[in-house]
Structure 1
């Protein structure tokens, strides 16, 4: 797939800033740092995009992982606010792929197969990319497998003639019925009646599509900075709901008024 190519910098205040990456269980940080020199932050939650923009004045943000249980998920409106400040917003692999598909028409750039899947299937379940992970002090190590990775794995096994089309459908259905907090390859095989003897053989064939997409996004991020998939004709405005979300995230709304692109319709 061809991506828009920017000039290596965003407009205005962010022209010389760093790139910020929100990363968690999708990819080990050491692997990410080997691909892209950036500021790496925890998975994004409500208000984190605004806080990161204010703290680092980045020229770009790459949203890969997001929080959605202990804290509310990152809001669409704050991503739009960041783009209005001239920050290139790139999404991939997990929460980033979902938000990029939802905000594509506004200029957020999506990368990878998971993004394209969400873009094609607008009503696809959000939990297809969700995983249970260890806490921050353990590097957000993933404890379960994402549905999107399991689907890709079952398709690969079928193509390699290790399972039949009927078995692929049965395994996929079994996985879909499970809560994402319990969804692992081992649990799916057990629930579907498969023996332990196939687990190691199948585990060696698992497809880590989310990791692939994250690495792709990090690799091409520098040439996406300052670009957008279409000309933008929208104006960002602060709504009452957005202000309440900012306050709920512990952020002083007056902070936003220090930025040049601020419109309050309330």
Structure 2
């Protein structure tokens, strides 16, 4: 039996080691896994992409001239490759192409699909390769993740409704490459004590994009466990 060939585009929301561990700890046998950097335009047009049985997209580049195109994904689907999306660029593209065969996973995908999210910048972040081993480092936070955590903070009375609206509006008004906690706090003019409470709370929370990315990996494993 030939091995199931799987490609995952991430290394940002989910680190390479995390992805490998999820597969290694599963009951999926006879597979070959390749993990790529966040997807950009042209990646799916490479001939080797047609050799995969499954492609999972989590992270991607968002600048207009580098974002993966719809036609690239459709061409892969037409060649009988399963394509999953979750978390970030994957969730966005899946919400646009699920009626044509792409499979979406997770809450971020559902938010886009339902129309509760519309803007690309909700999942966009900036990143860089800064470490010696080339690991990708996230520089800014995503609006969708920040909003979800702030909703939880409001529900748990960490912040009040007034502060919630102020900090969410301050973050949303910023161009996504400028969305750091420092710039949002500066813009919102929240009291220092509240800023500290918010940061302490954020540091205890999981990123919704990370949760969705993990669930996409688990879905890929579950759907293909009898391969």
What is the TM-score of this pair, normalised by structure 2? 0.84
**Is 1:90–1:108's contact at 8 Å kept on the other side of the alignment?**
yes
Contact 2:50–2:79 (8 Å) recurs in 1: no
CA distance in 1, matches of 2:195, 2:116: 33
Aligned residue pairs: how many?
212
* Alignment partner, residue 44 of structure 2: 49
Q: Where does the alignment leave 5 or more consecutive residues of structure 2 unmatched?
A: 25-32
In the TM superposition, residue 225 of structure 1 has moved relative to its aligned partner by 4.4
The partner residue of 1:125 within 108, 119, 127 is 119
Question: Match of 1:65?
Answer: 59
**Residue pairs, 1:224-263, within 5 angstroms:** 224-225=223-224
What is the aligned-residue RMSD (CA, Å)?
2.3
> Superposition pairs for residues 73-222 of structure 1, below 5 Å?
73-121=67-115, 124-135=118-129, 138-206=134-202, 207=205, 208-222=207-221
Q: Which has the higher strand share?
A: 2
5+ residue gaps, structure 1, are 1-8, 10-14, 227-266
Indicate if the aligned counterparts of 2:57 and 2:86 stay in contact, CA closer than 8 A: yes
1:158-213 per-position Cα deviation (integer Å, ceiling 9, x unaligned): 00011112221221111100111111233222311123434443223224111111
Superimposed CA distance per residue, residues 126-154 of structure 1 (whole angstroms, 9 cap, x where no aligned partner)? 01101111137642210111000110111
Q: 1:64 to 1:117 in 2, by over 3 A?
A: same
**Secondary structure at 1:36's aligned position in 2?**
helix
Computing the radius of gyration from Cα coordinates, the structure with the larger value is: 1
Q: Which residue in the other structure is 1:19 paired with? A: 6
Deviations 1:220-242, CA, capped at 9 Å, x for gaps: 2122349xxxxxxxxxxxxxxxx
2:22 match = 35
Q: Is the Cα–Cα contact under 8 Å of residues 150 and 185 in structure 1 kept in the other structure?
A: no
Distance across 2 between alignment mates of 1:170 and 1:141: 28
